[in-house]
Chains A and B, each alone.
Chain A
Amino acid sequence: MITARFFDGQSAEAQIVTLQIEGDLLRIAAADRVWEWPIGRVSAEPGGNGGARLSYGAAGDARLVLDPEAAAALRLRAPGVFDPSRRQGAQLGLALGLIAIAGALVLGFVFGLPRLAAPIARATPPTIEARIGDTARGQLSLLGFKPCLDPAGIEAQAALQRLADEIATIARSPFPIRVEFVDASLPNAFALPGGTVVVTNGLLSIAKTPEEIAAVLGHEIAHVTRRHSMVNVIRAIGAQFVLMSVTGVSGGGGGDIVGIAAGLAGNAHSRAAEAEADRLSIAYLHEAGYDPAGLGRFFERLSAGRTALAAQDAEAGEAETTDAETVVEAKPTRSNVRKALELWSSHPLHDARVDNATSQIAQLPGRGYQPAFSEAEWTAMNAACPPSVDENAILRRLRRAFGDKTTDKDLPPPAAPAPPAQ
Chain B
Amino acid sequence: MDMQATSGESRSVEIAYTQNPWSLAPLSLLNWGLTIVTLTLYRFWAKTEVRKRIWAAVEIDGEALSYLGKGSEKLLGFIIAMVGLLPIFGLIYGAQLFLPPLIAVGIILPTYLVFFWLVYFGQFAALRYQLTRTLWRGVRFGQSGKATGFAWVSMGYFFSNLVCMLWLTPLMDMAMARRLYGKITLGDRAMTWRAGDGQSETAGLYPRFALAWFSGVGIYIGGIVLMVVVIGVLMASGNFPEQGAQPDLVTSVIIGIGIYGFAFLLVFAVLLAVLNYSLAVVRRSAQMLQLDGLRFDFVARFWPTMGLLVTNGLILLFSLGSLSAVTEARMMQFLVRHLTVHGAYEPGAFFRGTQSVPQSGEGLADAFDIGAGVFN
Contact = CB atoms under 8 A, between A and B. Distances in A.
Given A61-B140, A131-B98, A250 B135 contact: no
A101 B138 contact: no
Interface string A130-165: 011001001100100000000000000000000000
Contact of B56 (A47, A95, A241): A47
Contacts of B3: 3, 5, 16, 67
Contact of A142 (B45, B101, B349): B101
A272 interface: no
Nearest to B32: A253
A240 B85 CA distance: 13
A253 B6 CA distance: 49
Interface core residue of B3, B4, B19 (most chain A CB under 10 Å) = B3
Task: Indicate the size class of the contact surface on chain A.
Answer: 35 or more
Interface stretch (B142-150, B158-166, B363-371): B363-371
Interface in B31-49: 34-43, 45
Interface stretch (A6-14, A183-191, A214-222, A367-375): A6-14
Interface core residue of A49, A95, A132 (most chain B CB under 10 Å) = A95
A45 interface: yes
Nearest to A10: B352
A248 B78 contact: yes
B138 A254 contact: no
Contact of A11 (B38, B71, B115, B139): B139
B59 interface: yes
Given A53-B66, A132-B97, A138-B100, A241 B6 contact: no
B138 A245 contact: no
Nearest to B186: A12
Contacts of B19: 48
A174 interface: no
B64 to A, nearest CB: 6
Contact of A12 (B45, B97, B99, B136): B136
A106 B138 contact: no
Contacts of B349: 12
A9 B85 contact: no
A120 B54 CA distance: 49
A400 interface: no
A contacts with B: majority SS: helix
Given A10-B351, A101-B38, A244-B89, A250 B368 contact: yes
A63 B67 CA distance: 12
A132 B98 CA distance: 5
A404 to B, nearest CB: 21
Given A45-B56, A53-B66, A249 B40 contact: no
A116 interface: no
A96 to B, nearest CB: 10
B4 A13 contact: no
A411 interface: no
Contacts of B206: none
B117 to A, nearest CB: 14
B137 interface: yes
B5 interface: yes
A54 B34 CA distance: 28
Given A14-B5, A61-B139, A233-B97, A48 B64 contact: yes
B66 A45 contact: yes
B40 A48 contact: no
A3 B1 CA distance: 13
A9 B37 CA distance: 39
Interface in A94-132: 94-95, 98-99, 101-102, 105-106, 131-132
Given A132-B97, A244-B86, A250-B368, A8 B39 contact: no
Contact of A249 (B34, B37, B96, B369): B369
B38 A102 contact: yes
Contact of B367 (A61, A91, A233, A249): A249
Interface string B1-32: 10111110000000000110000000000000
B98 A14 contact: no
B358 interface: no
Contact of B368 (A7, A246, A248, A255): A248
B313 to A, nearest CB: 16
Contacts of B35: 254
Contact of B100 (A135, A237, A248): A135
B98 A247 contact: no
A254 B39 contact: yes
A244 B92 CA distance: 14
Interface string A245-280: 111111111110110000000000000000000000
Contact of B96 (A5, A7, A14, A135): A135
Nearest to B368: A249
A11 B351 contact: yes
Contacts of A16: 3-5
B59 A98 contact: no
Given A14-B6, A62-B138, A248-B78, A135 B39 contact: no
A15 interface: yes
B351 A99 contact: no
A12 B41 contact: no
A81 interface: no
A245 B85 CA distance: 10
Given A12-B137, A245-B82, A253 B367 contact: no
A46 interface: yes
A45 B135 CA distance: 13
A65 interface: yes
Q: What are the 3 tightest A-B residue pairs by CB atom distance, in nearest-first order?
A: A7-B138, A254-B40, A12-B350
Given A61-B139, A257-B39, 9 more contacts: A10-B138, A10-B352, A11-B351, A12-B349, A45-B56, A105-B39, A250-B369, A252-B40, A253-B321
Interface of A: 3, 5, 7-16, 45-49, 53, 55, 61-63, 65, 67, 91, 94-95, 98-99, 101-102, 105-106, 131-132, 135, 138-139, 142, 233, 237, 240-241, 244-255, 257-258
29 contacts: A5-B3, A10-B351, A10-B352, A11-B139, A11-B350, A11-B352, A13-B347, A45-B52, A45-B56, A61-B135, A61-B352, A67-B1, A94-B71, A98-B34, A98-B42, A99-B38, A102-B41, A138-B100, A244-B85, A244-B89, A245-B86, A246-B39, A246-B40, A246-B41, A248-B78, A248-B366, A252-B40, A252-B369, A258-B40
